[in-house]
Structures are given as structure tokens and as C-alpha cells.
Structure 1
Amino acid sequence: MQLKILIADDHPIFLTGLKEVIETDEGLKVVTSARNGKEALQQFQAYSNLDVVVLDINMPVMSGLEAAEQLLQIKPDLPVIILTMHKEKAPFMKSLEIGVMGYVLKENAVSDIVHAIYKVMDGNSYLSPEISSYLLKRNAFKTKQENEPDLLGLLTPAENQIIRMIAAYKSSREIADELFISEKTVFNHRMNISKKLNITGKNSLLRFALDHF
């Protein structure tokens, strides 16, 4: 059975190319497309059985982030991927805040998009490697603010190790493989960390990790 996908971009040539790239995988089918965020919302409501939505971040009438926010209010568990030309941290953090699962650099869409679709369908976050590398370099120069509570002091050494790996954009499977533990153990660690730090919500643990490393 093919996954049903909605794509949205205001550049017709890119939209056509993106559809062709996605459909090189026999398991994926672009069933509809849109030229702006408002059209994407309308198409989403017209096709009630969509599996994944791919949105350009900069579109007229309504941006990709605005559309994503409304889509995720309608269906909170919807896998949404944002396409972007830029590597800035602010829009990326905003996308995490509203529940976006994938964030793909447009110049690498040909190589990244199919992998991103399967990752978000499995419930994992996906970030283009070039963006993650850029953000990690920026975070390396970040200094801890004075009077900030030492929340990481609440965690065990094992939990600190895992949250550092989360900040490096590693999936639960990748963490499990590197530490020679099961994915279930990683899941339990993630749950314990979230409970200790009193954080809830989609992408909340990743956002915390990025803010502290």
C-alpha cells in the first residue's frame, strides 16, 4: 500500500520536480499539491486520508509554518515536513514547538526527502544533515546563562549521555545501537528524563536538549 502525500510550494517547477523525486519510490504517491499554505489546508480537508504533508516554509497567502500549525491543531499526530532554503535556528525551533517532525533543506531535497518521509512516518524526527551540522556548530559556542537552574543535575550519568545524543539529532534506534542497549531502554530513559524535567508535548525533549547543549 502506498503512502499518500500532500506537497505545497509556490514554485511550479520545484513542485513538479519534488513530486517526481518522491514518486521514484514505489511506496510513495503524491495525491495532491498546493501553491500556498491556504491551499494546502483546503487540500488536506479534501483528502482526509493523507499520510504525510510536505510544506515549503515561505509561501504567499499563508506560510508553511502557519499552515503546519493549523494542520497539527486539526490532527496532532500528522507527520509534517517543512522545506526551507535557510539554516537559521529560530524557524527550526518554531517548527519543533508546533510539532513539525521533519525539517529539510531545499537544496538537498532530492537526496533527503524520501528518507525524511519514512523517518517521520515511523514517528522519528528528521533534520537534513547540513542543518544539524550548522546548528551543532552554533551550539558549541553557546554559554550557559547565569542563574539558570542546573536542571541537568537532576539526571543520572546515563540520562545525561542520552540527552546529549538527542541534542546531536540521533534517533532512538541510533542511540540504542551506539550504547548497545535496546530501543525500549532508550524509550524508558526518555520518559524518565521528561518526567524529571517536567516537560511534555511533541518534540519537547529535543527542544530542551537543543537549548542546553
Structure 2
Amino acid sequence: MPKPIKIMLVEDNLEYRGVLEFALEMEEGMELCSSYGTAEIALRRLSQSAAIDQPDIVLLDLNLPGMSGLEALPQMLELAPGKQVLVLSNSDQEADVVAAISIGAAGYLLKSSTIDSILGGIRSIAAGGTLLDSAVAQYIVSQIKPKTSPSYENGTDEVLSDREIEVLRLLGDGMLKKEIGDRLQISYYTVDAHVRNIYRKMRVRNAAEAISKAYEIRLFSLE
């Protein structure tokens, strides 16, 4: 039987935290190992824990009393190397999304997400995936359009093809590779090849980083 996904929850809103605690405790295959209302206490716990006792995933609010989630995020990743952080926030501001993903968050969900979406996101990240709230992604992508000849500040002349930009947009909409293939009427393997090329050209590791970088370097420019 596979080991449960161990989760640390960092959330100061008592009512919302209680809802998440109940859902995590009831969910098969997940274990809520700790729950805190401030980043300072969570960081202290991580610094004092042996590797075997550390969580697999940290659910982190950004708007915390004292140290913010964004300030705590790099320290959490340093104290728990190889672990993942899933941001849960009320903020749909592009700056917060870009900052969290750039620092190293594996995913970003709004607190308006359903409990099922949050639990599904935890499983996706635990399996090595990434997650960007579809509402946030769609908002960001809706504000941007591709430049005629995009280039990157990475010492190469490689650019994304029109098809690769199209695939990147659909990734930003939260679509899976199979769904992208169905939409574009191409095979899963072709989509997978496009995605690998996008990551290589943009020098990123996953879809969340690709979307974040596209926004940062103005591969997509504001309308």
C-alpha cells in the first residue's frame, strides 16, 4: 500500500483552515501532519524536523500575519529540499502568481477553488506535476498576445513556433496534453514533443514556469 501524502498546512484564517483540516483528515491517501497559523512557526517546525518527519507538500497562504507566504517560500524550499509548495491564496494578481512560481512554488490555486480541486491538485503535485489555477491562467493569457518575433535573454536565437505558442496558451488554460491534442487534432506524442521543445527553448522545468516566464520576458505582451 502506497504511503500517504504528508501535508503541512499554513493558513491563518481559522474557519478556512478548519475546512481544509477536516477534508485532509478524511481523504484517503493523505495525512495532515501539521497545521499552523503563521509562517514563522511553520519554518521553525521545518528547521527542527528530521527528513523523515517533513511533509511532502506544504499548503501555503500568501497573506499571513508577520512574515508573508512569499517571504517564507524560499526558506521553506531550502529547509525541505525536494519537497513541494502549493500556494492557496485569495490573490489573483499576476505579480503574486509570477512571484510565487518564480521562487519555486509547484502550484498556485485560489481559495475559491473547490475542495475536490485542491485535493486533486495535491495529488498532481505529489506525482511530479504542476498546477496553475485555471481562472488565474485564463486571466493572464487573456491579457496577452504573442509578439511577431519573440526572443529570449538566454544567449540563443531560438524562438517558439506558432504551434508552440498555441500549445503554450492552451497549457495556460489548464489543459492536459491529451486535451490539447484533441483540440488541435494532433497526437498526444506530437503535443508532448512541442511541450519538450517549449521547455528547452525557454529553459524552464514545467508548464507553470513556462507561463510565468512568457509573461515576465514579454513573449506575450500586454494589450
TM-score, shorter chain, exceeding 0.5: yes
Equivalent positions of 1:29-40 (< 5 A) are 29-40=31-42
Partner of 2:98: 93
Partner of 1:25: 27
Of the structure 1 ranges 27-36 and 120-129, higher mean CA displacement relative to structure 2 is found in: 120-129
1:206 is the counterpart of 2:204: no
Q: 1:130 to 1:207 in 2, by over 3 A?
A: closer
> Using the alignment, how far apart are the partners of 2:176 and 2:81 within structure 1?
21
Deviation, structure 1 residue 106: 1.3
1:64 is the counterpart of 2:69: yes
- DSSP-derived class of the 1:154 partner: coil
> Using the alignment, how far apart are the partners of 1:166 and 1:151 within structure 2?
20
> Using the alignment, how far apart are the partners of 2:137 and 2:169 within structure 1?
14
Partner of 1:43: 45
Report how many aligned residue pairs link the two structures.
206
Contact 1:84 1:106 in 2 (8 A): yes
Contact 1:53 1:81 in 2 (8 A): yes
> Using the alignment, how far apart are the partners of 1:21 and 1:58 within structure 2?
22
Partner of 1:3: 5
Question: Structure 1: which 5+ runs fail to align?
Answer: none
Normalization by structure 2: what TM-score?
A: 0.77
Q: In the TM superposition, what whole-angstrom CA distance separates every residue of 1:143-182 from its partner, at most 9, and x where no partner exists? A: 85xxx96339833444333223233333445435545423
- Aligned identity (percent) is 27
**More helix as a share of residues:** 1
Contact 2:10 2:37 in 1 (8 A): yes
Partner of 2:164: 159
Question: Structure 2: which 5+ runs fail to align?
Answer: 153-157
1:196 is the counterpart of 2:198: no
Partner of 1:182: 188
Q: 1:73 to 1:177 in 2, by over 3 A?
A: farther
Contact 1:34 1:40 in 2 (8 A): yes
Of the structure 1 ranges 101-110 and 170-179, higher mean CA displacement relative to structure 2 is found in: 170-179
> Using the alignment, how far apart are the partners of 2:50 and 2:37 within structure 1?
16
1:83 is the counterpart of 2:88: yes
> Using the alignment, how far apart are the partners of 1:132 and 1:155 within structure 2?
19
> Using the alignment, how far apart are the partners of 2:181 and 2:80 within structure 1?
30
Q: 1:122 to 1:149 in 2, by over 3 A?
A: same
Of the structure 1 ranges 124-133 and 12-21, higher mean CA displacement relative to structure 2 is found in: 124-133
Q: 1:181 to 1:44 in 2, by over 3 A?
A: farther
Normalization by structure 1: what TM-score?
A: 0.80
> Using the alignment, how far apart are the partners of 2:56 and 2:124 within structure 1?
12
Aligned alpha-carbon RMSD (Å): 2.8
> Using the alignment, how far apart are the partners of 1:161 and 1:5 within structure 2?
35
Q: 1:80 to 1:177 in 2, by over 3 A?
A: farther
Contact 1:112 1:128 in 2 (8 A): no
